[in-house]
Structure 1
Amino acid sequence: MALVLGQNRVGIARSDNPTTVPNHPVARLMFYFDCICTVLQITDEYAARLRDYMNFYLLTESEMDKLLYFCWLFSPDELINKCIFLNDDLCGEYENGFFELSEITERLLVTDSLMIGNQQRRVKKVMAFKAIFLLKNYYIPIEIYKERLHIILLAMNIIMQERRRIAGVEGATETPIRTTNTSSCCIIL
């Protein structure tokens, strides 16, 4: 369901605090992920480790792979104009800002839930951002790790195909399925 919010700008209140992010691509991706987790209210303990951008240097290789995957899964392309909005005016002097849905009064079309992967996510906050926010915290860092992300996605695809194949074998019926082979073969010696 989508909500159309009014045009009156009186009483907009930020629900965040300004922060400093280490200038490292991993820290920047972690900050992006942290922002998206704030919007989508992802609060589990495992995500907390991937959100701790001040301690980015503590991530293991496996956690780094998961961070890249989640950043790809929660890409701006999937979220822009649904729960994150390019809006310099709402950001003011900062690169981004969070707002409770009830506090937003500028005319925006906001969705109250998103389907990401196989999970339904409720949207309780929205994030406004300036273009520089995505450039610094998503597009540049993800470009640095694009080859690694490509390998991760290929591996995930292979795993998913294998799981579907195994599920297909386990779910096969007792009755054999007849197939007809219409191809022919000619061997020339």
Structure 2
Amino acid sequence: MAYMRRVEYGLKDTSRSVTVPADPAAKLMYYLDSMCTVLKLDDNSDINELRQFRNYSYLTHSDRNVLMHLCLLLKPDILLNKCIFQNDALCGNMANKFYDLEAVRNNLLVAGSVVIGGRTRQVTKIMTFKMSWLQANWSSPMQVLAARQEQERLQILRRQQTGQSCAIL
């Protein structure tokens, strides 16, 4: 790990303003997109499709399961204080911000690399966030989507059982 001393100049904000649809799947897709931005996980076309949060309505039940699994692999507890930091001051008037790592000089202990799914990823960016961002884009959507997925799973099972019963008769 590299320790960066406090210097109040030279921060390079690389954030972009986005509007995320008010749907739990879209919120998790945005969370995934944010973590992929920080960790440079853009080398997998399947993951890249799940990052397109504006296209959330096209996700299948299976896609949403994969999305949830990926978000659990990249959960905040694993990345906190390594490449994502809860820091209201660095967020300013936004809920989250991205910074180029080489530009950050604000008393942050930053990991040089992070192991995700058995692969080492170099940390080249960091993201700062307010707790409200984490609640809106990870915690709450994960709970809502998990419940929704379970309801859909049960409906699929009921349909399959009904279809099997009819086939037997």
- Give me the TM-score of the superposition, normalised by structure 1: 0.75
Does residue 60 (structure 1) correspond to residue 60 (structure 2)? The answer is yes
* Aligned residue number for residue 3 of structure 2: 4
4+ residue segments displaced more than 2 Å:
145-149
Deviations 1:128-155 (A, max 9, x none): 0000010000000111133548xx9xxx
Contact in 1 for aligned 2:25/2:145 (Cα 8 Å): no
Superposition map of 1:3-152 within 5 A:
3-43=2-42, 44-147=44-147, 148=149
Distance in 2 (alpha carbons) for counterparts of 1:78 and 1:32: 14
AA at the equivalent of 1:58: Y
- SS at structure 1 position matched to 2:105: coil
Distance in 2 (alpha carbons) for counterparts of 1:126 and 1:47: 20
- SS at structure 2 position matched to 1:68: helix
Q: Show structure 2 runs of 5+ residues with no match.
A: 154-169
CA change 1:64–1:146 in 2 (3 A) is: closer
- SS at structure 1 position matched to 2:2: strand
> How many Å apart are 1:16 and its aligned residue?
2.0
Distance in 1 (alpha carbons) for counterparts of 2:120 and 2:11: 28
Distance in 2 (alpha carbons) for counterparts of 1:24 and 1:145: 9
> How many Å apart are 1:67 and its aligned residue?
0.3
* Aligned residue number for residue 161 of structure 1: none
AA at the equivalent of 1:63: D
> How many Å apart are 1:6 and its aligned residue?
1.6
AA at the equivalent of 1:28: K
Deviations 1:66-112 (A, max 9, x none): 10000011000101001000001111110001111111110100001
> How many Å apart are 1:59 and its aligned residue?
1.2
Could you say which structure has the larger radius of gyration? 1
The alignment-based identity, stated in percent, is 36
Deviations 1:18-76 (A, max 9, x none): 11111110000000000000000011221110000011101122211110000011000
Q: Show structure 1 runs of 5+ residues with no match.
A: 153-189
Distance in 1 (alpha carbons) for counterparts of 2:120 and 2:26: 27
Q: Which has the higher contact order (CA 8 A, sep 6+)?
A: 2
